[in-house]
Amino acid sequence: LTHDMMVAGVHWPPGEDAADLGWKLVAAAASDLAAMGAQPAGVLCALALGPEAGGPWQAALVRGMGQALGAFGLALWGGDTVATPGPTMLGMTVVGHCEAGAALGRAGARAGEGLWVSGHIGDAGLGLAMVQGRMPKVAALVKRLRRPVPRLALGAALVGRASAAMDVSDGLLIDAGRLAAASGVGLEIDLDRVPLSDAARALGLDPLAAVTSGEDYELLFTAPAGARLPAGVTEIGRVVAGAGLQLVAHGRAVPLPDRLGYEHAV
Amino acid sequence: LTHDMMVAGVHWPPGEDAADLGWKLVAAAASDLAAMGAQPAGVLCALALGPEAGGPWQAALVRGMGQALGAFGLALWGGDTVATPGPTMLGMTVVGHCEAGAALGRAGARAGEGLWVSGHIGDAGLGLAMVQGRMPKVAALVKRLRRPVPRLALGAALVGRASAAMDVSDGLLIDAGRLAAASGVGLEIDLDRVPLSDAARALGLDPLAAVTSGEDYELLFTAPAGARLPAGVTEIGRVVAGAGLQLVAHGRAVPLPDRLGYEHAV
């Protein structure tokens, strides 16, 4: 079970499309199921609607939520709706299931294992720069920001294969640091191996920018050498004894940037 | 599974004790488990903390939540915490369990059955009048408002005995109307039989005021004639063919009041 919250003005800017918000609310919470290798079951939806959330806005929100629920195989079981004089807030409880004891966690990484990530990293960060007007828009990258697809099938396939897993929501480096801390190990990450999409390469995306931007909702996981892994994943480093992160590029150590990703205020 | 939300300024006034809020957040959500006859399991806690919710306030909130979780046998499994510039909002997902198919619902009432309620009705409404300064305070009644105790044991005992059940949160009449609508029946309620506490009787509480005030968190349920019911419940009426509510006092029909209880804005 997981619960995620989003606040107007904090987690989304004014004017954001409500259908995209509805999708993202479901996708972000479902990504936590993916990280645990759980099968999706259903959701409870918590809506605190402010004065700015009128009928058409609510209809769009529900349409986007419905599209995501259908796409990810989640049932809408219930929830609560209240009026608020303050900013609109959206909350979602997502429930999944797996075999007893089989859920993936963050604490199982062991020195000598490999570090892997799914898909491409940095696309959503480029999409954010585009919707903030800092770059010309590329539709596929904006879609990666606004309509993320949690890696549910991959997460389920990693059960029994990965030793630790989490989803990349705040940035690959900051999330990798959390996995390392939970497992009591260090992680060495090779920036040359971080998988970038063709669209990101065409825009000259720096791997260091890619690993410090958030909302990719890919899976980051560790696995023993020789583990049979699904397609679409890339080995980007290894688990080492010790603690913290070590970055490498072109075979040489790279200092950690000051900012590893999105730091929550609370 | 159930989710309940509370918003500062809407569901509680400024200055309300945070420990009482923490208790009530858990109790109100757990009362929905009681209404379904479910055994309590655990919760996810959703906190959106506004500028007014400082460290001491948060500590008191968590203390009250912890007291309620312990009292009702619920584990704290997780949740989410965010900062908000607007009013503080508290949400809680509560999870319970019961035998497959055994959960109590609102739709099973049948004409000819009796209508019952647990405990006393109207105490919390008196407590609200007291904290709003409309009456001198009586500690036991203020406590009924601020530290409600969901009827979990009773709800579990009603499984297989009650035909329909719900908790009285918005007012006995408005909630009875919802049960009647869900079951497709009418309900006849005898105001002379509505159970009032000694404290409420001493203050001269009008039964019509008692059945239109909220937050008692007692259980309202229907059961066939001759059903073996637990102690502490009072038969206040019967299920009839048709629809809606009929009030009786001193053997004569009484018109329904304009206001049946607390109507949510959304």
Instruction: Give the pLDDT mean for A218-225.
Output: 97
Distance CA B122, CA B209 (A): 7
For residues B102 and B205, is the Cβ–Cβ distance under 8 A?
A: no
pLDDT in tens, B49-72: 999 899 999 999 999 999 999 999
For residues A213 and A134, is the Cβ–Cβ distance under 8 A?
A: no
Instruction: Say how many Å lie between the first and final Cα of chain B, rounded.
Output: 21
Q: Is the pLDDT of residue A265 over 80?
A: no
Q: Do A86 and B86 touch (CB under 8 A)?
A: yes
**H helix runs in chain A, sequence order:** 18-36, 55-72, 123-131, 139-146, 152-158, 172-183, 198-202, 207-210
Distance CA B155, CA A12 (A): 42
Three-class SS of residue A39? strand
Q: Is the pLDDT of residue A98 over 60?
A: yes
Distance CA A96, CA A74 (A): 9
pTM recorded for the entire structure? 0.89
Among B99, B89, B3, B92, which residue's Cα sits nearest to residue B49?
A: B89
> Which residue of chain A has the CA closest to B263?
A82
Shortest distance, CA A212 to any CA of chain B (angstroms): 21
Nearest to A84 among B77, B82, B86 (CB): B86
Report the 10 Å Cβ neighbour count for A220: 27
Distance CA B152, CA B32 (A): 9
From chain A, the residues in CB contact with B265 under 8 A are: 82-83
Among B147, B145, B165, which residue's Cα sits nearest to residue B156?
A: B165
pLDDT in tens, B75-102: 999 999 999 998 999 999 999 999 999 9
Q: Is the pLDDT of residue A146 over 50?
A: yes
The two three-digit tokens of residue A29, written as one number: 């919470």
So what's the pLDDT on residue A15? 87
For residues B228 and B168, is the Cβ–Cβ distance under 8 A?
A: no
From chain B, the residues in CB contact with A265 under 8 A are: 82-83
Q: Do B46 and A50 touch (CB under 8 A)?
A: no
So what's the pLDDT on residue A96? 97
Confirm whether the ipTM is greater than 0.90: no
Q: Is the pLDDT of residue B265 over 70?
A: no
For residues A247 and A256, is the Cβ–Cβ distance under 8 A?
A: yes
Share the mean pLDDT of chain A.
95
Instruction: Give the pLDDT mean for B241-265.
Output: 89
So what's the pLDDT on residue B264? 57
For residues B10 and A85, is the Cβ–Cβ distance under 8 A?
A: yes
**Confidence category of residue A13, pLDDT binned at 50, 70, 90:** confident
Distance CA A1, CA A77 (A): 14
So what's the pLDDT on residue A205? 97
Instruction: Give the pLDDT mean for B208-218.
Output: 96
Mutant choice from B5, B47, B170 vs A, greatest count of A C-beta within 10 A: B5
Instruction: Give the pLDDT mean for A242-256.
Output: 96
So what's the pLDDT on residue A266? 40
Three-class SS of residue B191? helix
Q: Do A85 and B48 touch (CB under 8 A)?
A: no
For residues B62 and B27, is the Cβ–Cβ distance under 8 A?
A: no
Instruction: Give the pLDDT mean for A87-96.
Output: 96
So what's the pLDDT on residue A78? 95
Residues 6+ positions from B227 with CB-CB distance below 8 Å = B114, B161, B162
So what's the pLDDT on residue B266? 40
**Confidence category of residue A23, pLDDT binned at 50, 70, 90:** very high
What kind and span of H or E run contains B24? helix B18-36
- Strand A233-240 and strand B186-190: the pairing is unpaired
- Dihedral sign computed on CA atoms, order B194, B199, B205, B210: negative
Q: Do B3 and A84 touch (CB under 8 A)?
A: no
Shortest distance, CA A88 to any CA of chain B (angstroms): 9
Q: Do A82 and B266 touch (CB under 8 A)?
A: yes
> Which residue of chain B has the CA closest to A264?
B82
Q: Do A87 and B91 touch (CB under 8 A)?
A: no
Q: Is the pLDDT of residue A244 over 90?
A: yes
Q: Do A4 and B266 touch (CB under 8 A)?
A: no
Distance CA A162, CA A56 (A): 44
So what's the pLDDT on residue A264? 57
pLDDT in tens, A108-132: 999 999 999 999 999 999 999 999 9
Instruction: Give the pLDDT mean for A190-211.
Output: 97
Instruction: Give the pLDDT mean for A201-210.
Output: 97
Nearest to B79 among A3, A11, A48 (CB): A3
Mutant choice from A84, A88, A106, A169 vs B, greatest count of B C-beta within 10 A: A84
pLDDT in tens, A40-50: 999 999 999 99
Q: What single DSSP character describes residue B194? A: S
For residues B92 and B44, is the Cβ–Cβ distance under 8 A?
A: yes
Distance CA A239, CA A114 (A): 6
